[in-house]
Structure 1
Amino acid sequence: MVTARRSVLDEPRPADAPPPGRPDWLLVAVFAVAVAAEAVARPGVAWRPLVTILALALVPAVLWRRSRPLASALVGWGVAGLLSILQLAFHDGELGLHTMLVVLVLLYSLVRWGSGRETVVGLAAVAAVAALGMYAASADRGEIFGGSVLLLLCVALAAAVRYRADVWHRQQREIRNQERVALARELHDIVAHHVSAIAVQAQAGGVVADAQPERAAEILAAIESEASRTLAEMRSMVRVLREPESVAYSPQRGVADLPALARADARPAVEVSLEGPLSLARPVDVALYRLAQESLTNAVRHARSATRVGIDVRREGDAVRLRVSDDGQTAPGPVPAPGFGLQGMAERAHLLGGSLSAGPGPAGGWVVEAVLPAEVLP
């Protein structure tokens, strides 16, 4: 019980709270107009100027509800509590406007965007104000039950949305971790390959150093070049996570292996086209093969009535472009959200300083395009 209480209190704020945008300003405008309209048109409003000013004072709280969820909730529910106190003190009947129900939005934002401590403090304040308001209004059991259910539903909805968002972000982190682990394995193989080559060159240099000094100088130059390339590729991938367990020393396939994916005697037929000088940094070379292979797998599995899949790799200056397209039928309606496979591919391209896009092609079918730097930056 103590551990659970501590974990709730230690819960941080969600890191993806968006700043106020056009929908927020629209909500504020609608709220302000509704307050003014109700204050003018509704008969029997006690202390009309005061309650109108207090209602309009909630406008900043609505705008700040995500960046300052606790402060916004305390302002909004504090105004409601003040009206209840005035109602009890002066017995003027019901005070306030129906538009004051915007405090439910502030309660939702408190649970959705607040930290654990902020949520606990804010919910305690809301419960106290709600109890005070029901007492001031002399609410019967039905009204107390209905009001309590409304508050609980608001809290439950915010908690459900927050939990769903947390699950989605964990899935995204898992995708990034998987891609970084895969890149770490490739880094392991790349380093092993280059270091082995350096070791062989160094042994050869030791053998010919006395008999052929000029040959030894060439070997030292080759060692320097190999070491510089290794350092450049290692620096380009320092952000990846490292696999704590041992990994196999297996050769990694690259762009030169893509023609092996071509097939004309199957359905869909696969055509591979390579254009331009394709001497690429090893991480980029491996990534292009992986992206093409994954895109081809997706096309074979999911493209409807596809007869052809084209894999095109083209060098464009300092970049290389991969395009995988099929001639299948595209389902009508909005483009579906990318699955975890496409998200993983996009993360791999991003880690190497490139980009990846996927969607329906202009002539039908599905197109995946990736643009990567030919030489990764150190």
Structure 2
Amino acid sequence: MTNPQDPGVEGPLWSRPAYAPVLAAAAAASLAGSFARAPAVWSMAGLALLLPLLGLVTRWSPARSGYFAGSLGVAAVALWPAPLVWDEGGSWLEACGAAAFWTLPALGAVAVGAHLRRQASRTRRAVRDARRDQQLELARDLHDFVAHDVSAIVVQAQAARFVAGTDPGQAVRALERIEAAGLSALASMDRTVHALREAGGSPATPAPGLTELADLVGRFEGGVLEAEDAASAGLSREADTAAYRVAVEALTNVRRHAPGAHTVRVTLRRIPAGIELAVTNSAPPRGPWLHAARRRRTGGGTGLAGLRERVEAAGGTLGAGPAEAAGWRVSAVFPAVSPAVFPADGTTQG
């Protein structure tokens, strides 16, 4: 039986299980009437019922009952003129020709039903794939943005606990950063909720981009931003969003794997290959609170793997590896899409 929640389902649900039995009964009656020499007008009336039923059974019925009823229906439509041909002295060849002729409308009804069934199946798959893609997108947003802010809250809370007794001023500043990270996490959650409501007709909130990079780096302790003004203008919208996500994921990984790093430098610049967004951190310090933080933060996400796919989808490349002084560097390079911004001679036009 067809799932009542399938897209494109129309008509009363109670009638669908009856299509195959009704077709089988009608086909059996038509065959019996034809070989019992029923009047031709009754046979033609039976055809008017059998052909729509063939289409309905092909469209709605389960495969097992549909094959049986459909085969019986095609046989009834094809064989109804055979007794008339024999009664008029026709040969077997003529009877077969008549049967072949009347098989065509039966197969046409089956083809129409099969086409509608195939279209409905494609629609269901498209809806299922779209829902899965939306779920993956929401999962990436939660990982990229909310996890970043939550990890900032955890690290700052751990730092505040260790310095509260000796340096209350540092603890207060840590609490201020916790507040800012919490507000950012709430904003990210709001964007996720808006994305969920988009299917209901509500306007979608645009994904954050490099216009928010300065604020992102400013909330990161030890973060330094070096950005060329014209660099972000050379990126497509997809690359702009992907570059911002690279920065978020890289900074999140610094908090996870190198908490307390003295310097975290974020650079956005033009290079011969295009536009580069790079995040480089110095080696993490050694100390008791650092080891405690690492013990509490076990496990990890799949950020870089998913991020690489997003960067490549925007036409860029992602790289990560050791940097100088035992640090780490994450870099993404995107093609520039505004040649007028970056002339061939290397000057920057205003």
Tell me the TM-score normalized by structure 1: 0.40
